[in-house]
Chain A
Amino acid sequence: MSLPSKLLITFSSLLLAHACYSAHEHSLLSTTHPSPSSPASPSTSPSGTTTTGSSLPLDITLETLISVSLLLLGIVSSGWELKPISLRSYAGMLERGSVFPDGVDGKTTVRGRGIFDGLEDRPGFLDIRKQREEFAQWIKTHGDS
């Protein structure tokens, strides 16, 4: 996450919080002001007596809208690494081992694994005896040295 986007997110969050607080204060003022002595009913919450008809002042609305759009901008630009969209570049990155498919940990391996490697590995037709022989051969030649 780059510093400018961090700052942007912090700033716009503060702005949004401020807008929320202002809106809350405003609604409190307009509900309590005309009838300050109305008793609160015991069974309902204070919001049960909210009123309709009073609208928010323009500056609070504007503040909210601006802060939300800034926040969105900040989050989008905060830049986690996006995966390439085209098959060409993604497949190339997989083959070169600069990204790894899901579930493969890049730290334990360096070899790239392509998307269609299954067509060349062909797990259904695994010739286990041949691989065993190869391994035994390898142990024999390298184990003694």
Chain B
Amino acid sequence: MTSHDRRRHATHRRQTHSNQLGAITADKNPKALTNLIAYKPPTHHLSPAPGVRLASKMSLSTYLSRFKSVSLTPTPSESLSLSQLAPSILNLSITDTPEQWSLYESLLLSALRTGDDTSARLILQRLSDRFGNSNARIMALQGLFDEAMATNNAQLEEVLKNYNEVLKDDPTNVPITKRKITLLHHLSKKTEAIAALTVLLDLNPTDAESWAQLAQYYFELSMFSQAIFCLEEVLLILPNAYNVHVRLGEISYLAAENSGGGVEKFETSLRWYLRAVELCDRYLRGYYGVKLVTGKLLQSKGTRTIPEEKVNKLNSVATVHLNDIVTGFEKGTKGFTGYDPEEVAAVKELLAADDVSK
């Protein structure tokens, strides 16, 4: 299968597309300014900055819960506030518990994100002192650090060469393989990244993360059918992953738009969205898609497999839910506060556009 993908890949063409989904899938714009006044360039060396005196009283588990509550692609203000915890966390005595090391790992990432290189170096030092330099995970973190420290492309190529050395000795080192793939992709060697990823998936086709990443790479190259194939593989591993269903809906929608849009293709997209909604109650992204695609279906003509009245009903169901979500979120009702503000804004836009067209 993977070699098949590679062959198809040679014929890819790059396309750019503007779409309504962009509002949801685009990177988040940093808006919060709360932490800025307190921000100083990271010059601290293990002495707590005045702004974090309160934080120094927190325990290990409190810190860990703060890190866990933020996604791996945090907004800059989030990563800033996390990175400011570095001095107080590093001042905690080392208890050698799994929690402590997982906290160190997260802290290393946010320190690297915010450019707090002194803390990052110290954290990495402590991690490698504890687990040794030959530990695959530590090697990957070290690689991450080297990547972040590199100032130009020549140095990045050097890091890449290091990865290749390591992989020559031990081809089963999965974390390093993943770093190598990411670095290749970053250096705009997208076909090489995809080729390396297919090799990794040939070694281990039960790794959902790799399949999802491959889907993303294909998606960036607008190779939608390959992306759908990869996401289907994810579903074979994690059949209840509703966000993968939504992603399948989004990609099928874009594929339908791109190919001129047969009704049938939009219906496929609608079904994926519906499945996501079935798996996750009041799922914003799911209902957004349902609303979007049903709107599209009602406008277009052609032979349908889903009767029009059902499409209409689904559209109104989605509208009701989306209205609930928007009002609940704006009022700050309990149980509605966890949505992404930007996704809610996108929903509002969609609802407003719908009102105008009526």
B337 located at the interface, meaning its Cβ lies under 8 Å from any Cβ of chain A in the complex: yes
Shortest B251–chain A CB gap in Å is 13
Please, which residues of chain B bring their CB within 8 A of the CB of A103? Answer: 61, 64-65, 68
| Interface hits, A82-116 → B, CB 8 Å | 87-89, 91-93, 95-98, 100-101, 103-105, 108-114, 116
Q: Does A33 contact B (CB under 8 A)?
A: no
CB-CB under 8 A for A120 and B212, given A88-B281, A134-B76: yes
B137 to chain A, nearest CB (A): 10
Q: How far is the CB of B229 from chain A (nearest CB, A)?
A: 16
- Neighbour of A111 across the interface among B69, B77, B114, B281, CB < 8 A: B69
**In this assembly, does B220 line the interface, its C-beta being within 8 Å of a C-beta of chain A?**
no
Interface stretch of the complex, out of B10-18, B233-241, B292-300: B233-241
Q: Given A125-B182, A127-B182, is A119 in contact with B113 using a C-beta cutoff of 8 Å?
A: no
Q: Which residues of B have CB within 8 Å of A113? A: 68-69, 71
Of the stretches A48-56, A60-68, A135-143, the one at the interface is A135-143
Within 8 A of A (CB), among B120-146: 140, 144
- The closest CB in chain A to the CB of B30 belongs to A138
Establish whether residues A121 and B36, one from each chain, have CB atoms under 8 Å apart when the complex forms.
no
Chain A residues with CB under 8 Å of chain B are: 87-89, 91-93, 95-98, 100-101, 103-105, 108-114, 116-132, 134-136, 138-139, 142-143
Q: Please list the residues of chain B having a beta carbon within 8 angstroms of any beta carbon in chain A.
A: 27, 30, 33, 36, 39, 61-62, 64-66, 68-73, 76-77, 79-80, 109, 112-115, 140, 144, 147-148, 150, 174-175, 178, 181-182, 185-186, 208-210, 212-213, 216, 234, 238, 240-244, 247, 278-284, 334-340
Given contacts A104-B65, A119-B234, A126-B182, 19 further A-B contacts (CB under 8 A): A93-B281, A95-B284, A96-B282, A103-B68, A108-B69, A112-B339, A114-B242, A114-B243, A126-B72, A128-B113, A128-B147, A128-B148, A131-B73, A131-B79, A132-B112, A132-B148, A135-B113, A138-B76, A138-B77
